[in-house]
């Protein structure tokens, strides 16, 4: 059974907090902070549900720069509960986010994931993404 995928609402904040804890570890994000983000960000947050249970989420953003014609998008986060994996949930989330980005004028989407995250890379490749030769550099401030 394929999941239902939709934009997250504030009623999903508690489930998002629990799933984010599974995904990122550390401290559980307060529901109030998640609600604030859902109400104020330009970020797209999609949830996948199965029988009314939130089993995964994906986040995306669109960006515009004077350097490029048109907007570009990035799928920034993706998580599916372990018990729901390998059932098309990630593919459904990716497709939904791509459609949402396309409606914002996005023509190109990029995804950053760990080079050793083979299951995520496979899911992205199944959705038509190809490895790029970009190098990511980061610095903590």
Q: Tell me: the pLDDT tens digits for 34-45?
A: 998 888 878 999
CATH architecture of 4-126: 3-Layer(aba) Sandwich (3.40)
pLDDT of residue 64: 87
Element spanning 78, H or E: strand 71-80
From residue 59, give the alpha-carbon distance in Å to each of 6, 52, 98.
12, 20, 11
What's the pLDDT band for 75 if we cut at 50, 70, 90? very high
Element spanning 37, H or E: helix 31-40
Tokens (6 digits) for 45: 């947050």
pTM of the prediction?
Answer: 0.89
Domain ranges of the chain: 4-126
């Amino acid at each position: 059974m394929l999941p239902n995928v939709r934009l997250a609402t504030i009623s999903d904040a508690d489930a998002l907090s629990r799933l984010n804890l599974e995904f990122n570890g550390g401290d559980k994000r307060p529901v109030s902070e998640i609600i604030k983000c859902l109400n104020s960000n330009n970020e797209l947050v999609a949830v996948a549900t199965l029988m009314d249970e939130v089993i995964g989420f994906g986040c995306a953003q669109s960006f515009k720069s004077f350097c490029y014609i048109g907007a570009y998008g990035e799928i920034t986060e993706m998580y599916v509960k372990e018990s729901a994996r390998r059932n098309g949930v990630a593919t459904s989330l990716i497709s939904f986010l791509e459609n949402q980005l396309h409606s914002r004028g996005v023509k190109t989407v990029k995804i950053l994931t760990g080079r050793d995250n083979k299951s995520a890379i496979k899911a992205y490749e199944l959705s038509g993404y190809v490895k790029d030769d970009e190098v990511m550099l980061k610095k903590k401030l």
